[in-house]
Amino acid sequence: MEWIFLGIAVVFEIAFALGTNSTRGFTRLWPSVFTLLAAAGGIFTLSLALRELDVAVGYTIWTGLGAIGTVVFGAVLFKERITTSKLLSFAAILGGVLALKLAAG
């Protein structure tokens, strides 16, 4: 169940990061509300995952997959460029996430 909670936390993390871009410095009400709820949801579901997972594993996977998701969806939603160096960085993050998952059992 902890991996399901972690997956949900990752989705909230991506929503939080993308929402922050839409708040315009927290000057727009509904994007700001969405962003704050996504942040709270991410932290809450991460805390549920960390009841069973080591914090070093759970937090690192949460931030790593959140970063990858944010870049991918940033490219789709905000037309940000995905360069070769970004792709190589994704591969490194994904390799680390997979290694942590295997180490965690």
Each domain of the chain, given as residue ranges in start order, spans: 2-104
Residues 46-61 have pLDDT tens digits of 999 999 999 988 999 9
35 near 16, Cβ under 8 Å?
Answer: yes
Return the pLDDT at 98: 86
Within the chain, which residues score under 70 in pLDDT? 105
pTM: 0.87
Helix (H, G, I), strand (E, B) or coil at 71: helix
**Concatenated DSSP letters of 61-75:** HHHHHHHHHHHHHHH
Residues 64-73 have pLDDT tens digits of 999 999 999 9
**Burial class (CB within 10 angstroms; exposed 0-12, middle 13-18, buried 19+) of 81:** exposed
